[in-house]
A and B are shown apart, each in its own frame.
Chain A
Amino acid sequence: MKLSNRLTLKQRKVVAGYLFSLPFILGFTLFFIYPFIQAFIFSLSQLSLTREGFELSFSGLQNYYYAINVHGQFFRVYIETILNMFVNVPLVLAFSFFTAMILNQKFKGRFLARLIFFLPVIMGAGIIIQLEMTDMVNQLMHQARGAGFVFGGAGLRNVLMNAQLPEPLIEFVLNAVNRIPDIINASGIQILIFLAGLQSIPPSIYEAADVEGASRWESFWLITLPLLSPIIITNAVYTIIDTFVTPSNELVMLIRSVRLDGNHGVSMAMSVLYFLVIILILILVLKIANRWVFYQE
């Protein structure tokens, strides 16, 4: 008699649930939580490579002290990265939400527009940016012409200067404008997720609202936004993590270079500090979000 025959369907489903999840349970234990705990231990130790393996000697908070107080750049980049996130994430969210609303409308060339808008996902913004920094063709060509890029650059600066705007405002506008390509390139997945969310809202709700005399503006605030609020949170969390983790992130590059220099303990301490601030921000975001997220059930 087979085991499966003796169990009820419900019991078999429980067993199947665990069996299906088994790959992840294994992977999580072996290749995730174990190195994760090791990372904390490494951050509190001096790590030295020997012929048979590696040796650890406990050194307390020394690595952390070094990272924050002694290392010249870490603390500054750390703060900058966090502040940068507070600017970038709302911009990415707003842009991708708006774009998804547009791509959800019916218009000529919509298919082509979607095709192009998801291109950054395919081209991999990370590696492109990474290599772009070493790419001087564009810079050189633009220097040769003495003209700025269409966005930012000297052209816009001159226009703003001529408008007699105060210097800090000009800097702010230029800064925002310079971010545009980055924002667009970082928004691919978010647009996708928002678009899928928009399409999951049944049209009958909008029709009912229309019959009741609601304007489009009202149905956006009263239907679209509340129904999408869980997805906005999902996207916010995803965006926060994504901006923290991309290889083009300045702090990530810094930690990488410290690691390549052989200061494993220090780079681990930096990663732990980084991880802690990510967790803190995510908890904060979820706490705030829980107040106004609308769940259908």
Chain B
Amino acid sequence: MNNTNINKRTADIEVEAFRPIEKQVEEVLEKINQEKDHNLSSRINKRIRSVIVSLLRAIFVIGVAYIILQPLFQKIATSFMAEIDLFDPTVEWIPRNFTLDNFRVVWEHMNYPKAFLNTFTLTITVSILQLVSCTLVAYGIGRFHFKGANIIFGLVLFTLVVPPQMIMTPLSLNFRYFNLFGLIPEQNLLGSYWPFVLTSSTAVGLRNGLFIYILRQFFRGMPKDLEEAAYLDGAGIFKTFRTIMLPGAVPGLVVIFLFAFVWQWNDFFFNTIFLSGQGNFLLQALQGVALRALNHDHNLLTTPYASLIQNTGMLLYIAPLLILYAFLQKYFIESIQRTGIVG
């Protein structure tokens, strides 16, 4: 009896002891269930949200793409139109009187092959020189710690801040009466490639400050180990630069080359001042093309025709850039993705 009593009591105690645990388990189970429901609803919520987000994103991306592409496509479309189509309100994108005449006229009056070759030669020279000089300078101030590095970097930023308009007149006069502070006999460098070659090879060409800035960040972000290993192996500073650092920087160099090329090609400023009076370049050819075409082909001065020609000329002007972009785009966009220019 005593025994059973004790047993009963222990059983009671056990039951009492277990009751809260049961309760706890129940509570936990309830919670899990609730969370399941919550998760389900939040998952649905998330779904809806992600659909809305991607919808808004699509609207934004397509809208902006439209604003960027619309003028370009409009230009392409109109360049195939005859003059008559401009006055036809039913013609929007597809020309009714399809013609290649505009291209023929522009091609002839811009003297396109020759102008293209001149511009291309100048642009490729300038952009390669800028690429080389800016890379050297950026490497110098980005990778070596010496007292002047920060000062030089400050001066680089300074060249970015000063508007080119300001130094243009003195600079062009210096090139007009070029004697390098009396060191060489005076000569007129305007109208030749020399002003471009000199400013590009000394890293003070158009937006070269920006190139140095970007490349400096790029070089600074490169890992130290490889470089140090090369030095330990007895490689010199220049050999290390050439064989280790430079190949690693190729993505950045492609971006800079593309920038240099594009800006030189599109440059209005240096071109008109250094090459004033020279008509053999694309930009100069483009500026006068409408007028020349009018004088030659049309007896009547019609503004629509003039702008039709201008329009077609502009397309031919930017066509090489678009082709270059088409070739380099993969490299260009991947290089942003992979390396992150800004360290």
Query: CB within 8 Å of B: which residues of A?
Result: 4, 9, 12-14, 16-28, 30-32, 34-36, 38-39, 42, 53-54, 99, 102, 105, 107, 109, 111, 113-124, 126-128, 130-132, 134-138, 140-141, 144-145, 151, 180-181, 184-185, 192-193, 195-197, 199-200, 231, 234, 238, 241, 244-245, 247, 252, 255-256, 259, 264, 267-268, 271-272, 274-275, 278-279, 282
Please tell me if the beta carbons of A124 and B263 are within 8 angstroms of each other in the complex.
yes
- Taking A197-B340, A256-B165 as known contacts, 8 extra A-B pairs with beta carbons closer than 8 A to each other, sorted by chain A number, are A27-B204, A35-B174, A38-B167, A121-B262, A123-B318, A141-B78, A144-B87, A196-B340
Please tell me if the beta carbons of B169 and A259 are within 8 angstroms of each other in the complex.
yes
- With a CB–CB cut-off of 8 A, which chain A residues contact B238? 16
Please tell me if the beta carbons of A12 and B237 are within 8 angstroms of each other in the complex.
yes
Is B321 part of the contact surface with A, judged by Cβ < 8 Å? Answer: yes
Tell me how far the C-beta of A71 lies from the nearest C-beta in chain B, rounded to whole angstroms. 16
A26 to B231, CA, bound (A): 29
A256 to B198, CA, bound (A): 23
Please tell me if the beta carbons of B202 and A31 are within 8 angstroms of each other in the complex.
yes
Is B333 part of the contact surface with A, judged by Cβ < 8 Å? Answer: yes
A-B contact count (CB 8 A): 259
Task: Please name the 8 residue pairs, one residue from A and one from B, whose CB atoms are nearest each other, closest first.
Answer: A27-B202, A20-B140, A124-B266, A17-B144, A38-B170, A35-B170, A27-B204, A200-B340
Please tell me if the beta carbons of B136 and A20 are within 8 angstroms of each other in the complex.
yes
Please tell me if the beta carbons of B137 and A138 are within 8 angstroms of each other in the complex.
no
CB closest residue in chain B, given A12: B237
Please tell me if the beta carbons of B307 and A135 are within 8 angstroms of each other in the complex.
yes
CB closest residue in chain A, given B329: A115
Q: Find A268's partner among B156, B169, B325, B342 (CB 8 Å cutoff).
A: B169
A62 to B80, CA, bound (A): 54
CB closest residue in chain B, given A180: B67
Question: A13-B144, A20-B137, A241-B161 in contact; A131/B286 too (CB < 8 A)?
Answer: yes
Question: A28-B155, A124-B263 in contact; A116/B167 too (CB < 8 A)?
Answer: no
Please tell me if the beta carbons of A35 and B167 are within 8 angstroms of each other in the complex.
yes
Question: A17-B146, A127-B266, A267-B169 in contact; A23/B342 too (CB < 8 A)?
Answer: no
Can you list 9 A-B pairs, Cβ within 8 angstroms, ordered by A?
A14-B144, A21-B136, A24-B212, A32-B162, A35-B170, A113-B61, A196-B341, A234-B342, A268-B169
- With a CB–CB cut-off of 8 A, which chain B residues contact A185? 68
Question: A196-B342, A244-B163, A247-B269 in contact; A137/B304 too (CB < 8 A)?
Answer: yes
Q: Find B165's partner among A145, A180, A274 (CB 8 Å cutoff).
A: A274
Please tell me if the beta carbons of A131 and B314 are within 8 angstroms of each other in the complex.
yes
- With a CB–CB cut-off of 8 A, which chain B residues contact A244? 163
Please tell me if the beta carbons of B64 and A271 are within 8 angstroms of each other in the complex.
no
Please tell me if the beta carbons of A17 and B141 are within 8 angstroms of each other in the complex.
yes
Tell me how far the C-beta of B240 lies from the nearest C-beta in chain A, rounded to whole angstroms. 10
- With a CB–CB cut-off of 8 A, which chain B residues contact A132? 71
A193 to B340, CA, bound (A): 8
Is B203 part of the contact surface with A, judged by Cβ < 8 Å? Answer: yes
A239 to B148, CA, bound (A): 28
Q: Find A272's partner among B69, B144, B166, B321 (CB 8 Å cutoff).
A: B166
A62 to B311, CA, bound (A): 43
